Structure 1
Amino acid sequence: MESERTPDTTPRRKTALTGSARKLKDNAADWHNLILKWDKLNDEGSTIANKIVNQGISKGSQQHNIMLEDLEGSNSTNTEETAGHSRELEEECSKLLAVVDRMSRVLSKMEKLVSTGRGVLELEMFQCGAAGRPTPLFLTWPTTLFVEVSAKLYEAYSQELRLKQAILQELAHTSRADLSMVHLSCWLHQPYLDDSLRLQLEGLLLETGHRTL
């Protein structure tokens, strides 16, 4: 991931960071890159989820027509077409499951970033005491703030993953158009990832020199 660690292409003066400062700066860039990956997966999943909803509604309508034909004593239903539709729906569900699994792997990497930040803080407290270091590693943030921001980001993405997993379980089994649209909206707009998280990420990048004013 070393080759991805610069979130933007703005030229900046090289600094020879080492130790805790290097780890926290790398963490900030990794947060940026992982969130970009999450956003791409969310867009990919949204496209697949939309197909599942359309196929699910179509399948529900198809089943309704079959019931009517049975009541009328008609055997004109094309069972081969119905089976093909079910296979397509199953394939799209498998694709969405793969997206959620990849999101889970992204979250696991986020968890490691939180752990690394806590390790830096524990080392600092061991070396400097509970009050921490007398001067910040970068601009103004104490090391505790890096840990707090990472923990908030991780918790929000954890909640969002749980929501994605719930949507995955329900999406293919919902034939009601209104409920399906709620599922789609929740997937796309990600209610647990509000604007404040983006601001905290930008603050993290600014503090560590990945962003400039």
Structure 2
Amino acid sequence: MAETPRNNRLNPLVGKSSPAHEVNIYAGRPAQGHSGNLTGNRRILKDTAADIFNGMQNWKHHQDKGCVVISNIFNMRLELPNVKFPDRLSGYVSELKQLCEQMAEIVEGFQTKLKNLTAVSALEKSSSAPLFISWTTEHFCKITRAIVEAYQQELKLHQSLLLRIADCTDPDVLLFYLSCWTHQPYLDISLEKQAHCMIKETGHV
């Protein structure tokens, strides 16, 4: 008969996501039909696409670190089942809080980028010609808006988990919280595919 999760220590790397790779906003090919350095709205769109993609990669990095922290809390609770506030707990909780704050900064950055794209879309509304290969500025807005809304929801979940993890003394419940943190139910795989399409559209890859 298999042991229950309560009797098994966790590998700190549990829940680790795929490696994060950032893109250089100055790299890649120029927009279709244009040579040299981009200016104006094309520059804004290209830089914004890279910033959004890189923000998603940074989120992955913080997400993975959070998995390690929660695993450490789980293992600590196994080692010290009768100690409600072990000495290491405050350090782990502070680290997890800092990660949530950094993730909140990423989401705020996404919101700013969406405002910029919305402004560009308003300026380009009279033109149906794409600024790059095939995407209209409105399509850039649509994809970015979906990314922003998903990460806003996921951030709320992470912040809620932070509060619960800080007070939890039951390793089995902590294992459930780790699963919630790892699974990220609001971040559909299609969002990352769309982000890859965005940087491909703007010539980064």
When the two structures are superposed, what TM-score results if normalisation uses the length of structure 2?
0.80
Matched, 1:186 2:204: no
Counterpart AA for 1:36: Q
Higher helix share: 1
Offset at residue 90 of structure 1 (A): 1.4
Moved more, 193-202 or 13-22: 13-22
Q: Partner of 1:71 in structure 2?
A: none
- Counterpart of 1:169 (choices 163, 169, 172) is 163
Matched, 1:43 2:37: no
RMSD of aligned residue pairs (Cα, Å): 2.1
Shift of 1:139: 0.8
Q: Indicate the SS of the match to 1:87.
A: coil
Where in structure 2 are the equivalents of 1:2-81 lying within 5 Å? Answer: 6=24, 12=29, 15-59=36-80, 61-62=81-82
**Ranges in structure 1 where 5+ consecutive residues have no aligned partner:** 64-81
Q: Is the 8 A contact 2:46 2:202 kept in 1?
A: yes
> Matched residue pairs, number?
180
> Is residue 158–residue 181 contact of structure 2 (8 Å, CA) maintained in 1?
yes
Cα distance, 1:43 vs structure 2: 0.9
Q: Which residue of 2 aligns with 1:116?
A: 116
> In structure 2, what is the Cα distance between the partners aligned to 1:135 and 1:32?
24
TM-score by length of 1: 0.77
Amino acid in structure 2 at the alignment position of 1:124: E
Q: Which stretch of the first structure deviates more once superposed, 180-189 or 23-32?
A: 180-189
Question: Deviation of residue 12 (structure 1)?
Answer: 3.9
Q: Which residue of 2 aligns with 1:86?
A: 86
The structure with the larger Rg is 1
The 8 Å contact of residues 73 and 89 in structure 2, kept in 1 or not, is answered as: yes
